[in-house]
Amino acid sequence: MAVKLSKAQKKINYDKKLCRLLEEYSQVLVVAADNVGSNQLQGIRKGLRGESIVLMGKNTMMKRTIKLHAENTGNKGVLNLVSLLVGNVGLIFTKGDLKEVREEVAKYKVGAPARVGLIAPIDVVVPPGNTGLDPSQTSFFQVLNIPTKINKGTVEIITPVELIKKGDKVGSSEAALLSKLGIRPFSYGLLVQSVYDDGSVFSPEVLDLTEEDLVQKFASGLSVVAAMSMALSFPTLAGAPHMFINAYKNVLSLAVATEYTYPQAEKVKEYLKVRGPPSLLLFGRPILTC
């Protein structure tokens, strides 16, 4: 016969478990769990088994344990998790690839009906077509100003209608109509809100960045540094190659415009004898070699 634990013992066990996870794992996904059922959560746990652990609990209890763990171990980085524990949230501790874990969690979204009083997470549009409802049901459509016609003894919606806008509360008429049409417009699951990685916290959108994106952003930043370096005449590693090239252009222009020469300039002078003397730049100003 299993021994029933007291509330105090349950809190102690929970504290130990959370502290152990904070020691073993350096990566945590903070997820919103609104409208997620226990069966759905159990399925997510099974899908992540082996590389990740889902931990739910009261925010106050989690905050308290995290603060005590930071105080006892000196790991102040975990305190960044405290401010993220707002609303109905949970923690997913993982040693796997963060992007892959997020994608695995997203697989467990389930469709849900529009219940009265819920805040719509998306726009709900009723498509045109035959509803299969008999003409006595037209009152539902009239209340919601949905254009219909009777076709072969059933109600047919003529044009697509935006029934509910994102952020609006679902009314009783909208909920009843969607139920009659068999439409389950919403889907719910664990939604990743923030990513914690060894003391750093960032948005989950960062996980979508590829190596090409990072290279492009780095190159863009490097070009800005080089441009500022050139404009201010302040040498930097980014601007140094451009400065050397511009300096060499000035030396070459001077050699072409005068009798002064050096081996590299001889090749240019030989070329100009054949092609003719073009306009050159000396210290950023045009000169004519005549």
Burial bucket for residue 62 (CB in 10 Å: 0-12, 13-18, 19+): buried
pLDDT at 5 over 80: no
Taking the CB of residue 126, how many other CB atoms lie within 10 A of it? 22
Q: What is the mean pLDDT of residues 78-92?
A: 93
Stretch (H or E) spanning 92: strand 89-94
| Count of residues in the chain | 290
pLDDT at 275 over 90: no
pLDDT at 282 over 50: no
State residue 194's pLDDT score.
94
Task: For residue range 89-106, list pLDDT tens digits in order.
Answer: 999 999 988 999 999 998
Helices (H), the chain: 7-24, 38-48, 59-73, 98-106, 138-143, 172-181, 211-232, 240-257, 263-275
Q: What is the mean pLDDT of residues 51-66?
A: 92
Q: Which residue has the higher pLDDT, 50 or 195?
A: 195
pLDDT at 272 over 60: yes
Domain ranges of the chain: 7-109+189-204, 118-184, 212-275
pLDDT at 128 over 80: yes
State residue 71's pLDDT score.
92
What span, in angstroms and rounded, lies between the C-alpha atoms of 110 and 122?
15
pLDDT at 119 over 50: yes
Q: What is the mean pLDDT of residues 25-43?
A: 89
What percent of the chain lies above the pLDDT cut of 90? 25
pLDDT at 142 over 80: yes
Q: Which stretch of 25-29, 66-70, 175-179, 242-246 has the lowest confidence by average pLDDT?
A: 242-246
> What global pTM score does this model have?
0.64
Phi/psi at 236 (5° precision): -140, 165
State residue 64's pLDDT score.
93
Q: Which residue has the higher pLDDT, 1 or 3?
A: 3
Of the candidates 84, 67, 51, which has an alpha carbon nearest to the alpha carbon of residue 18? 67
Mean pLDDT over all residues of the chain?
84
Of the candidates 189, 171, 169, 201, which has an alpha carbon nearest to the alpha carbon of residue 106? 189
Taking the CB of residue 16, how many other CB atoms lie within 10 A of it? 11
Q: What's domain 7-109+189-204's superfamily in CATH?
A: Ribosomal protein L10, N-terminal RNA-binding domain (3.30.70.1730)
Third-level CATH fold of 118-184? Molybdopterin biosynthesis moea protein, domain 2 (3.90.105)
